[in-house]
């Protein structure tokens, strides 16, 4: 099984759609939405997925503004 790795970098949160409804991305461990489209998040060291939810690898990133840990997928972020 291949494990996805995200590199240490600064990323932007993207808008994600599910059933044609735009969603804000970036949730904390209690599933509270913290991140919004366009917010900067940071990965300080190369990171493997923390978990896998419904076939999607989930990673921890740091929200630059709030300094909280967010859980995102590769599809939720792009390099800034």
pLDDT given for residue 19 in this prediction: 44
pLDDT given for residue 29 in this prediction: 67
Host domain of residue 24: 5-79
Per residue in 3-27, is it b (16+ CB within 10 Å) or e — as a string? eeebeeeebebeebeeeeeeeebbb
Give the percent of the chain with pLDDT over 90: 38
- Domain count of the fold of the chain: 1
The model's pLDDT over 59-75, given as tens digits with 9 standing for 90+, comes to 989 989 889 888 888 98
Q: What is the DSSP letter of 3?
A: -
Write down the mean pLDDT value for the chain: 82
Q: Which has the minimum average pLDDT: 2-6, 34-38, 55-59, 76-80? A: 2-6
Domain harbouring 43, CATH code: 2.30.30
């Amino acid at each position: 099984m291949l494990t996805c790795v995200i590199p240490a970098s600064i990323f932007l949160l993207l808008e994600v759609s599910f059933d044609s409804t735009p969603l804000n991305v970036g949730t904390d461990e209690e599933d509270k939405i913290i991140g919004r489209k366009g917010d900067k998040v940071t990965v300080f060291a190369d990171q493997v997925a923390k978990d896998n939810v419904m076939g999607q690898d989930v990673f921890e990133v740091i929200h630059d503004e709030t300094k909280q840990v967010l859980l995102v997928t590769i599809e939720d972020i792009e390099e800034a």
